[in-house]
């Protein structure tokens, strides 16, 4: 089983790079630890950009069970289709993200926002 911890960090100022940080574990063994800088994107889509970036890395493991752990309720709602946003940039990116996810047969995205213990673990794992 593959477990991936993911965060997309937007910059405070327009025009600055965003950071995508992820850790990938296979059966509790760290197999990838990356922090990637990507050119500026609107803060509303940073979570989705981070997920697409991670999915490119996870294509090597497409045939395995994958759990992606995030602390991003907005991203979670967009992927589940329960978001009520009307922002066309966000909706177009959500469509692209869902197309990328459709390639994976056995995945779960877990939002740890409401679980204090899991959130602490997520935060500790994603420290630089």
Identify the domain containing residue 119 by its residue range: 2-125
How many angstroms separate the CA atoms of 83 and 22, rounded? 24
DSSP-based three-state secondary structure for 6: strand
* Sequence-ordered list of residues with C-beta below 8 angstroms from that of 102, at least 6 positions apart, any chain: none
- What's the burial of 117, exposed, middle or buried (CB within 10 Å: 0-12/13-18/19+)? exposed
Q: Phi and psi dihedrals of 120, rounded to 5?
A: -65, -40
Write out the chain's pLDDT in tens, 128 residues. 999 999 999 987 777 899 999 999 999 999 999 999 999 888 999 999 999 999 999 999 999 999 999 999 999 999 999 999 999 999 999 999 999 999 998 999 999 999 999 999 999 999 98
Can you give the pLDDT at residue 15? 79
Classify the C-alpha dihedral 70-73-75-76 as positive or negative: positive
Q: Phi and psi dihedrals of 11, rounded to 5?
A: -85, 160
- Report the CATH number at residue 70: 3.30.420.10
Can you give the pLDDT at residue 70? 98
Which pTM does this prediction carry?
0.94
The b-or-e profile of 64-75 (16+ CB within 10 A means b, else e) is: eebebbbbbebb
Q: How many CA atoms lie within 13 A of 13 on its CB side?
A: 2
- Total number of domains in the chain: 1
């Amino acid at each position: 089983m593959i477990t991936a911890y993911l965060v997309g960090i937007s910059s405070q100022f327009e025009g600055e790079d965003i950071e995508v940080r992820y850790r990938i574990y296979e059966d509790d063994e760290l197999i990838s630890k990356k922090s990637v800088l990507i050119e500026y994107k609107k803060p509303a889509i940073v979570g989705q950009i981070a997920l697409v970036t991670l999915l490119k890395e996870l294509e090597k493991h497409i045939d395995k069970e994958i759990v992606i752990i995030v602390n991003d309720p907005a991203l979670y709602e967009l992927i589940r289709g329960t978001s009520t946003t009307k922002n066309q940039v966000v909706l177009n990116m959500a469509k692209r993200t869902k197309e990328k996810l459709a390639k994976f047969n056995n995945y779960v995205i877990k939002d740890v926002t409401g679980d204090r213990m899991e959130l602490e673990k997520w935060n500790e794992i994603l420290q630089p």
